[in-house]
């Protein structure tokens, strides 16, 4: 009987176990989330201080929380993933050292279209500056296409004393010497360097983020006090007196006006002028260039060295030449407002509205990888830190907008810095200088402008009027594409090339009356002049000059009359 009871008991236990096993079991998965380290803390192998420290995490580092654990003393620890020195690590951090990020901000990043590899840097920035806005800019060329476009020899450069890993060691002459691509000290950057400096994820920190700051004008976002704070400690702090009009104006108010006229951020204009001029101002900012006294150029526009003059001299020549952007710049106001319009028209209003996009033109589809403001591949990184320092805490805590590129098929993680190499760069020898070209033509050349070309002139006829020794003459359109047929038009660029293919001199063609750049004078040109006078649309560059028919340095009703009479065959517009 006892044995039977044991059997019955055993059967009951087995039935009970089966019943338990058949009960549906539902385990809730851990809700993973992002967090930011709020103070220096050890990153350990396990949940507790008795576990070995793998490394230390600093305040501002982002972590991805994948679990929780309780230490032997009852303390809560987060199991996290993070990136440290280019490596992906998994470990534990005491929970009190982690500020969990808002799920709303994560949803915002997802809505913008940022990949998860961007989250760590952006979350850390959001915790520090909650009013900042981050906009993802989807780039149409893929990552590999962009890198191929930006690694053309001479397109991106570094200083010749840079770490060899940053130098394209294949860009050498027949003797194995690095070829100087800008003077004898700037050499082609390596592919690894281009990849590193083009990867936005490497610069999502509180200083370098300013390479992505949107430089377009935002109504109501700027104050005179904010501009004054940027200019504090420089010669642009306070007021100035225009030497030609004797009018006294405020630098801060001038930059605000310049921003409105050019549709460019006044804060950017002020910090850019500060960077170009320094605390005391150079000769262009002070209007003291010898032979060009009284002409100002706050943004150093056109200030680059050529065979005919140094950077400062050429900058002064540009400021003194009648033409677009309100030139000649005979006072500070004209230089700041005119220079701002140049920056807006030439770069910012064409979509290149961040320092990053001005260096790496991946947005202006008509001229990809060209029309780049700088050749130094490191320039956005260095200029962004300067911009950050120019801003006061009040500005930094306000609403700033950052446009950050996102590439298709980019690497899963941020591209690391180029690895150190054992090779030492060879100091580049000055390339053998080809003979200086000489040329003559019946056309009129003034500065960088070529006039005297009749409407409907064919390219072959134009080039046939040049006689060149030790070089050649080539015509390019506005997009820098070579032209061998068709009509020469306003805006075309005529280049005198050396025997090695480098540019000796270039001239922008202006055909008076050909205001729309089609090579002929028509009713369309008359309409453009009228729209300019009615302030419906503004003419600039060579098109502005082409509309100045009477050559008095401005566009007036008189110029429109000249075009009308030409069309009515009452008189002819002279090109000489």
303 closest CA partner among 204, 212, 373, 245: 373
Q: How remote is the C-alpha of 509 from its chain's centroid?
A: 28
- pLDDT class of 27 with cuts at 50, 70, 90: very low
Q: Is the pLDDT of residue 79 over 90?
A: yes
For CATH 1.10.1330.10, the residue range(s) in the chain are 433-576
Tokens of 1: 């009987």
Contact present, 319 and 282 (Cβ < 8 Å): no
Query: CATH classification of 433-576 is 3.20.20.120, yes or no?
Result: no
- Of residues 503 and 423, more confidence is placed in 503
**Look-up of token digits 């009615």:** 534
CATH T-level fold of 33-103: SH3 type barrels. (2.30.30)
- pLDDT class of 23 with cuts at 50, 70, 90: very low
Contacts of 133 (CB under 8 A, 6+ apart): 399, 400, 401, 402
Angle at 221 between CA 220 and CA 226, to 5 degrees: 120
Rounded CA gap, 332 and 472, in Å? 40
Query: Residue 85 burial by CB count (10 A; 0-12/13-18/19+): exposed, middle or buried?
Result: exposed
Interval 463-516: pLDDT, tens: 999 998 888 899 998 877 888 889 999 999 999 888 777 788 889 999 999 999
- pLDDT class of 211 with cuts at 50, 70, 90: very high
Contacts of 380 (CB under 8 A, 6+ apart): 197, 203, 208, 211, 355, 356, 359, 360, 374
Q: Is the pLDDT of residue 435 over 90?
A: no
For CATH 2.30.30.40, the residue range(s) in the chain are 33-103
Across the range 224-246, mean pLDDT stands at 92
Contacts of 382 (CB under 8 A, 6+ apart): 376
């Amino acid at each position: 009987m006892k044995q039977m009871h044991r059997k019955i008991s055993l059967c009951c236990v087995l039935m009970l176990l089966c019943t338990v096993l058949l009960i549906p079991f539902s385990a809730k998965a851990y809700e993973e989330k992002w967090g930011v380290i709020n103070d220096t803390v050890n990153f350990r192998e396990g949940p507790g201080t008795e576990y070995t420290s793998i490394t230390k995490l600093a305040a501002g580092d982002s972590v991805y929380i994948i679990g929780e654990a309780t230490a032997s003393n009852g303390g809560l620890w987060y199991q996290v993933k993070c990136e440290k020195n280019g490596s992906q690590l998994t470990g534990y951090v005491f929970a009190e050292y982690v500020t969990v990020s808002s799920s709303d901000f994560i949803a915002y990043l997802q809505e913008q279209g940022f990949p998860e590899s961007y989250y760590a840097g952006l979350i850390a920035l959001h915790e520090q500056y909650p009013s900042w806005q981050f906009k993802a800019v989807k780039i149409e060329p893929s990552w590999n296409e962009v890198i191929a476009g930006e690694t053309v020899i001479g397109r991106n450069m570094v200083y010749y004393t840079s770490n060899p890993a940053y130098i394209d060691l294949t860009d050498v002459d027949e003797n194995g010497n690095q070829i100087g691509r800008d003077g004898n000290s700037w050499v082609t950057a390596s592919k690894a360097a281009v990849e590193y400096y083009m990867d936005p994820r490497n610069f999502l920190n509180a200083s370098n983020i300013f390479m992505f700051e949107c430089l377009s004008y935002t109504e109501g976002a700027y104050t005179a006090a904010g501009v004054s704070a940027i200019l504090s400690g420089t010669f642009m702090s306070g007021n100035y007196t225009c030497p030609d009009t004797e009018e006294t104006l405020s630098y801060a108010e001038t930059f605000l006006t310049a921003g409105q006229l050019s549709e460019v951020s006044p804060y950017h204009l002020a910090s850019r002028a500060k960077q170009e001029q320094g605390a005391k101002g150079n000769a262009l900012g002070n209007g003291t260039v010898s032979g060009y006294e009284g002409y100002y150029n706050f943004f150093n526009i056109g200030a680059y060295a050529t065979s005919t003059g140094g950077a400062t001299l050429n900058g002064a020549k540009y400021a003194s030449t009648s033409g677009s952007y309100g030139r000649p710049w005979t006072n500070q106001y004209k230089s700041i407002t005119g220079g701002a319009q140049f920056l807006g028209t030439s770069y910012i209003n064409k979509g290149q509205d961040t320092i990053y996009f001005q260096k790496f033109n991946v947005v202006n589809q008509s001229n990809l990888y060209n029309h780049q403001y700088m050749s130094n591949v490191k320039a956005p990184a260095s200029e962004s830190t300067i911009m950050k320092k120019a801003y006061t805490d009040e500005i930094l805590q306000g609403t700033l907008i950052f446009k950050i590129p996102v590439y298709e098929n980019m690497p899963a993680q941020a591209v690391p810095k180029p690895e150190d190499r054992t090779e030492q760069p060879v100091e580049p020898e000055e390339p053998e200088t080809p003979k200086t070209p000489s040329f003559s033509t019946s056309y009129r050349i003034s500065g960088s402008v070529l006039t005297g070309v009749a409407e409907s002139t064919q390219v072959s006829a134009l080039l046939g009027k040049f006689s060149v020794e030790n070089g050649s003459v080539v015509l390019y359109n506005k997009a820098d594409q070579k032209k061998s047929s068709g009509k020469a038009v306003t805006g075309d660029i005529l280049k005198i090339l050396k025997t090695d293919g480098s540019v000796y001199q270039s001239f922008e063609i202006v055909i008076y009356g050909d205001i729309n750049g089609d090579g002929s004078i028509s009713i369309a040109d008359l309409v453009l002049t009228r729209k300019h006078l009615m302030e419906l649309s503004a003419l600039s560059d060579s098109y502005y000059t082409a509309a100045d028919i009477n050559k008095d340095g401005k566009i007036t009703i008189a110029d429109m009359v000249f075009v009308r009479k030409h069309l009515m065959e009452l008189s002819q517009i002279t090109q000489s």
